């Protein structure tokens, strides 16, 4: 009798606790709300410290910072405590602490969480304008209009002005500047990077007219040769590997099949105008052809048989292990991704090519003028510090030689190419034509037309030094990286621009519409799922793609298009 | 006189039990703090929740999020995937755990018994984040399992990239991870069966099979029923961390479950109210299943869980 009562009691307890576990989802959301009350107290903390600041002591600044995986710091340095941070702290009399740090997508999740808790650090980077807007609507961030006017240096203002208002327009809400935008120059195409040491070894020759353009057939042929001959005797060789998402909204999407699509006239994940109508690039007829090419490669075994489950890190490993010798990516991947190949094999060399369409033109699209935004908490009493940090890093550090003499450890950071994400703000603020402007200095310096001292920016000066050293036989990894990213990557963009080989598309950059908010995530799922299935042959290209277009329109795509069209009017 | 004595005893008894009540108190406190108070958050499911406006000032929208949820084009497929995987885990997990408990109980060498038990339930304590990379290395296209297949002349199977195989992989690896741990409770049930019953059965000439079937299993039945009912409450959660670490768009067809879907759409897209609505639906389904399982067991076996 007693025992059965006990059993019952345990039963009830377990039952109740399990039920509670089942409601855990909703309870999590509620606890996040509790955090919003907590924000008031953190605001009070700031008040105390800033009062101290006005008496000439150190002002505390908490930050949310997006980091990068595999960044090599000099011994002992971290994201929170490195030469750049120390310089900012010393110059501006502040103390920077990181409230949160995270890589890539994880960072966006951190921002989401901070936003839902209503408790944000004094300054943080956010990646999208929608987040800025949400922060603005929730009244969490400060209006920077006044401090920008007062504190921003003339140079900094001229950089933003080079976008003819497009940069500032993006961050202006109801006439107020709500964020410091990172600028976004055109990134150029997704370059085809091919192991040139292998091509030499196997006696392969492409691009005989030396214009930097090759065709889809060339890529296919090279991939086949690399697989057959396997120059590094690696196990499980792979012709071409692609990331699971296959296409990217950025023209230069690394590990994406963008360049194949662009060469066929398709612009995946792009809103654009065509014959007076708004269209979505992924649903175009040309996209189907691009998928047909990839699917053909999959059947022939040129495309990685594990495409879809092969992660970003896996693909990097394929390249580093010499299992794969062709990849697609932006001009600066030698600095942070292909350097992994060099680390394992110092004989590795890459050549950069662009994929041309049937008319010999390289299709590419313009970027939005801004990318990455620094927002300042409404509760932070010194919003001008954000502008001062920007002045320091995007004006003084770029233009002043004295600053580097004053801070030799920063000079060595620049010289060693320690990643820019280690600066307090992980955004870039460059003038619209900066990429090619900077390169022209570098090129003239390497040609001997000007001396290193005459190069305008400190970053390019250090690039010039390390590239010259590399060309003279120094096997330093930075030299290898900079040589490949500049003298190969940017050089290609420069050549194509000079010879007028680019055919530019200006996409539409719509605000998030109501239907996008509710349906876009689902549409993206539909797109990714269908595309990977088409490529791996799970569904037929013709009928599968047609079905996709129908479903896409039916599940909200059509609605979104009409909403964007309305926005444009 | 009799009554007085009785009263006195109750008072004394109550006093001696006071200490136990105190012991329950901290647990109860945390239960209320972390489980009951947050239930207020359920309101969110009926609002367009904006964090800055808070729980009580956000706009009420009624059943909007529930309607939206059932209008999602993939919702049927996702609920189906969730139930297939959750039921598969539950059924195979229980069968294996019960069978394992019965077999383990037969081992007479105490040292062996303890060792086997420990080895088998260790995986329970490993996180899926860690185990996912083990699974990927074993079952990937170049993994050990496929290398074995090639060596005996079979075709490679893309376990992680095939919609047909993926749910099986998920169920199989989960059962492998958890069966040892869940067998502990069945083992306890077996040991509580009166040995006299086994002796009597042996005297009557019952074979080992007969004894398992007619003594052990009936003795375990209440626990088995209890566990089934408990597990039924989680029919709509198929294990987020496991699937999230192993799936990819290529297996969304059969591998995308409610948790992962809501995570992608709800949290990453910051649609809190929608997330809360799905959570609430799931709790209601879980509770309904628990209550009906209880009623059913009462009817069938005349035993109640609670």
How far out from the chain centre does Cα B42 lie?
Answer: 23
Do residues B166 and B25 both lie within one domain? Answer: no
Residue A105 is predicted with a pLDDT of 75
- The neighbouring-strand residues paired with A180 are A374
Do residues B220 and B291 both lie within one domain? Answer: yes
- Contact predicate A321/A180, CB 8 Å: no
Residues 521..560 of A with a Cβ closer than 8 Å to B: which?
Answer: 521-522, 525-526, 528-529, 532-533, 536, 538, 551, 555
The span from the CA of B149 to the CA of B152, in Å, is 5
Domain that holds residue B35: 2-46
Residues 25..64 of B with a Cβ closer than 8 Å to A: which?
Answer: 31, 34-35, 37-42, 44-45, 49-55
State both tokens at A557: 């795509």
Residue B8 is predicted with a pLDDT of 62
**What average pLDDT does range B200-218 have in this prediction?**
90
Which among A19, A140, A533 is the nearest to B286, CB-wise? A19
Answer with the residue of higher pLDDT: B53 or B16: B16
Q: To which residue do tokens 């067998």 refer? A: B183
How far out from the chain centre does Cα B172 lie?
Answer: 15
| Three-state SS sequence of A472-486 | CCCCCHHHHHHHHHH
A526 sits in which H/E element: helix A514-535
- Nearest CA among A73, A61, A58, A93 for reference residue A409: A73
Do residues B164 and B234 both lie within one domain? Answer: yes
Q: What angle do CA A51, A56, A59 make, to 5 degrees?
A: 55
Is A236 near chain B, with CB under 8 Å?
Answer: yes
- Nearest CA among A432, A434, A440, A431 for reference residue A491: A440
Q: What is the pTM of this model?
A: 0.76
E strand map for A196-322: 213-214, 271-274, 277-280
Do residues B40 and B150 both lie within one domain? Answer: no
Residue A12 is predicted with a pLDDT of 45
**Residue B89: which CATH number?**
1.10.3720.10
C-beta atoms of A305 and B141 within 8 A? yes
Do residues B168 and B239 both lie within one domain? Answer: yes
Residue A15 is predicted with a pLDDT of 44
A/B interface, count of CB pairs below 8 Å: 171
Least confident of A340-349, B6-15, B247-256: B6-15
State both tokens at B285: 């389904």
Do residues B146 and B203 both lie within one domain? Answer: yes
Chain segment B272-288, per-residue pLDDT in tens: 888 889 889 988 988 89
- Contact predicate A194/A326, CB 8 Å: yes
Residues 73..112 of A with a Cβ closer than 8 Å to B: which?
Answer: 108-109, 112
Do residues B69 and B102 both lie within one domain? Answer: yes
C-beta atoms of B39 and A27 within 8 A? yes
Provide the pairing of β-strand A350-355 with A123-126: unpaired
Q: A31: which chain B residues are within 8 Å (Cβ-Cβ)?
A: 38, 41
Do residues B209 and B269 both lie within one domain? Answer: yes
Interface predicted TM-score (ipTM) of this complex, two decimals: 0.75
* Residue range(s) occupied by CATH 3.40.190.10 in chain A: 42-185+369-422, 191-365+502-509
Chain segment B226-251, per-residue pLDDT in tens: 888 888 888 888 889 999 999 988 89
Do residues B35 and B137 both lie within one domain? Answer: no
Residue A20 is predicted with a pLDDT of 42
Residue A240 three-state SS: strand
State both tokens at A73: 């710091």
C-beta atoms of A23 and B280 within 8 A? yes
Is A58 near chain B, with CB under 8 Å?
Answer: no
B113 CA: distance to closest CA in chain A (Å): 26
C-beta atoms of A26 and B268 within 8 A? no
Query: Exposed, middle or buried by CB within 10 Å (0-12, 13-18, 19+), for B21?
Result: exposed
Tell me what the pLDDT averaged over chain B comes to: 87
- The neighbouring-strand residues paired with A370 are A183
Do residues B138 and B11 both lie within one domain? Answer: no
> Least CA distance to A112: which residue of chain B?
B270
Is B289 near chain A, with CB under 8 Å?
Answer: no
| Superfamily of A191-365+502-509 according to CATH | Periplasmic binding protein-like II (3.40.190.10)
- Contact predicate A239/A312, CB 8 Å: no
Do residues B156 and B199 both lie within one domain? Answer: yes
Domain count of the fold of chain B: 2
C-beta atoms of A23 and B279 within 8 A? yes
Is A31 near chain B, with CB under 8 Å?
Answer: yes
- The neighbouring-strand residues paired with B48 are B59
* Residue B57 covered by a domain: no
> Least CA distance to B74: which residue of chain A?
A522
In this prediction, residue B5 has a pLDDT band, given cuts at 50, 70 and 90, of: low
C-beta atoms of A109 and B38 within 8 A? no
Q: To which residue do tokens 């490949």 refer? A: A484
Do residues B34 and B90 both lie within one domain? Answer: no
Close Cβ partners of A24 (under 8 Å, ≥ 6 residues apart):
B279
Is B163 near chain A, with CB under 8 Å?
Answer: yes
B104 CA: distance to closest CA in chain A (Å): 24
Q: B305: which chain A residues are within 8 Å (Cβ-Cβ)?
A: 11, 15
Query: Could you give phi then psi for residue A499, rounded to 5 degrees?
Result: -85, 5
Which among A26, A109, A528 is the nearest to B268, CB-wise? A109
C-beta atoms of A22 and B45 within 8 A? no
The span from the CA of B215 to the CA of A505, in Å, is 78
Is B242 near chain A, with CB under 8 Å?
Answer: no
Residue B236 is predicted with a pLDDT of 84
* Residue B59 covered by a domain: no
Is B164 near chain A, with CB under 8 Å?
Answer: no
A59 sits in which H/E element: strand A59-67
Q: How many CA atoms lie within 13 A of B18 on its CB side?
A: 6
The span from the CA of A311 to the CA of B73, in Å, is 28
* Residue B217 covered by a domain: yes
Q: A521: which chain B residues are within 8 Å (Cβ-Cβ)?
A: 264-265, 268-269
Low-confidence ranges of chain A (pLDDT < 50): 1-55
* Residue B55 covered by a domain: no
Best of A18, A22, A512, A544 to mutate (most B CBs within 10 Å, chain B): A22
Is B265 near chain A, with CB under 8 Å?
Answer: yes
Residues 96..125 of B with a Cβ closer than 8 Å to A: which?
Answer: none
Domain A42-185+369-422 has CATH 1.10.645.10: no
Best of B52, B58, B281 to mutate (most A CBs within 10 Å, chain A): B52
């Amino acid at each position: 009798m007693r025992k059965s009562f006990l059993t019952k009691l345990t039963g009830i307890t377990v039952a109740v606790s399990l039920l509670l576990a089942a409601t855990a989802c909703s309870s999590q959301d509620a606890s996040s709300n509790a955090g919003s009350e907590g924000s008031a107290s953190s605001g009070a903390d700031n008040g105390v410290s800033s009062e101290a600041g006005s008496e000439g002591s150190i002002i505390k600044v908490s930050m949310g910072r997006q980091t990068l995986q595999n960044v090599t710091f000099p011994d002992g340095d971290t994201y929170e405590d490195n030469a750049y941070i120390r310089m900012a702290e010393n110059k501006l009399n502040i103390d920077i602490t990181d409230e949160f740090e995270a890589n890539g997508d994880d960072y966006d999740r951190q921002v989401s969480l901070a936003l839902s808790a209503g408790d944000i650090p004094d300054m943080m980077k956010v990646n999208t304008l929608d987040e800025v807007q949400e922060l603005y609507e929730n009244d969490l961030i400060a209006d920077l209009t006044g401090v920008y006017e007062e504190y921003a240096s003339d140079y900094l203002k001229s950089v933003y002005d080079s976008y003819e208002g497009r940069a500032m327009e993006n961050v202006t809400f109801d006439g107020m500047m709500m964020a410091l935008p990172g600028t976004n120059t055109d990134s150029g195409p997704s370059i085809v990077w091919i192991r040139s040491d292998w091509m030499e070894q196997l006696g392969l020759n492409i691009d005989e007219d030396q214009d930097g353009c090759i065709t889809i057939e060339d890529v296919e042929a090279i991939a086949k040769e690399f697989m057959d001959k396997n120059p590094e005797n690696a196990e499980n060789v792979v012709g071409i590997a692609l990331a699971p998402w296959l296409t990217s909204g950025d023209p230069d999407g690394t590990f994406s099949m963008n360049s194949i699509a662009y060469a066929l006239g398709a612009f995946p994940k792009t809103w654009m105008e065509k014959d007076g109508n708004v269209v979505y690039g992924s649903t175009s007829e040309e996209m189907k052809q691009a998928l047909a090419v990839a699917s053909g490669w999959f059947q022939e075994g040129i495309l990685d048989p594990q495409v879809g489950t092969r992660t970003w890190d896996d693909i990097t490993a394929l390249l580093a292990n010499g299992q794969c010798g062709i990849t697609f990516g932006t001009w600066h991947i030698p600095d942070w991704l292909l350097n992994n190949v060099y680390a394992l094999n110092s004989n590795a060399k890459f050549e950069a090519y662009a994929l041309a369409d049937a008319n010999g033109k390289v299709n590419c699209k313009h970027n939005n003028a801004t990318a990455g935004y620094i927002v300042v908490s409404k509760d932070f009493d010194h919003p001008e510090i954000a502008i001062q940090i920007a002045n320091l890093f995007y004006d003084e550090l770029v233009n002043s030689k004295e600053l580097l003499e004053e801070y030799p450890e920063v000079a060595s950071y620049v010289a060693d190419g320690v990643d820019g994400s280690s600066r307090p703000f992980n955004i870039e603020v460059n003038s619209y034509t900066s990429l090619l402007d900077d390169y022209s200095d570098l090129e003239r310096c390497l040609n001997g037309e000007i001396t290193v001292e005459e190069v305008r920016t400190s970053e390019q000066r250090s690039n010039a030094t390390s590239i010259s050293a590399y060309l003279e036989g120094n096997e330093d990894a930075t030299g290898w990286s900079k040589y490949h990213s500049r003298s190969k990557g940017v050089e290609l963009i420069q050549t194509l621009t000079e010879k007028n080989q680019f055919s530019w598309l200006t996409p539409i950059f719509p605000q998030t519409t109501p239907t996008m908010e509710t349906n876009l995530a689902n549409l993206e799922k539909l797109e990714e799922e269908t595309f990977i299935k088409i490529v791996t042959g799970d569904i037929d290209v013709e009928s599968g793609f047609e079905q996709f277009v129908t479903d896409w329109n039916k599940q909200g795509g059509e609605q979104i298009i009409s909403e964007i069209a309305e926005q444009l009017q | 006189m009799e009554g007085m004595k009785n009263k006195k005893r109750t008072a004394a008894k109550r006093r001696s039990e006071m200490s136990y009540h105190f012991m329950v108190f901290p647990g109860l406190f945390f239960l209320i703090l972390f489980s009951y108070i947050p239930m207020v958050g359920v309101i969110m499911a009926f609002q367009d929740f904006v964090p800055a406006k808070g729980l009580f000032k956000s706009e009420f929208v009624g059943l909007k999020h529930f309607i939206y949820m059932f209008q999602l084009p993939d919702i049927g497929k996702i609920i189906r995937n969730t139930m297939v995987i959750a039921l598969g885990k539950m059924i195979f997990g229980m069968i294996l755990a019960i069978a394992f408990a019965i077999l383990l109980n037969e081992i007479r060498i105490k040292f062996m018994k303890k060792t086997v038990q420990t080895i088998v339930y260790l995986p329970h304590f490993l996180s899926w984040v860690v185990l996912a990379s083990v699974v990927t290395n074993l079952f990937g296209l170049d993994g050990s399992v496929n290398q074995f297949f090639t060596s005996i002349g079979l075709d490679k199977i893309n376990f992680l990239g095939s919609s047909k195989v993926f749910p099986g992989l998920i169920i199989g690896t989960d059962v492998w991870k958890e069966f040892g741990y869940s067998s502990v409770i069945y083992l306890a049930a077996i040991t509580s069966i009166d040995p006299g019953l086994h002796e009597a059965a042996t005297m009557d000439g019952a074979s080992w099979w007969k004894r398992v079937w007619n003594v052990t299993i009936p003795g375990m039945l209440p626990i088995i029923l209890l566990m089934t009912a408990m597990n039924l409450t989680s029919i709509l959660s198929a294990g987020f961390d496991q699937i999230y670490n192993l799936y990819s768009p290529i297996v969304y067809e059969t591998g995308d479950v409610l948790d992962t879907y809501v995570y992608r759409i709800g949290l990453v897209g910051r649609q809190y109210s929608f997330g809360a609505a799905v959570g609430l639906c799931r709790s209601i389904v879980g509770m309904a299943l628990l209550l009906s399982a209880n009623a059913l067991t009462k009817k069938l076996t005349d035993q109640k869980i609670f």
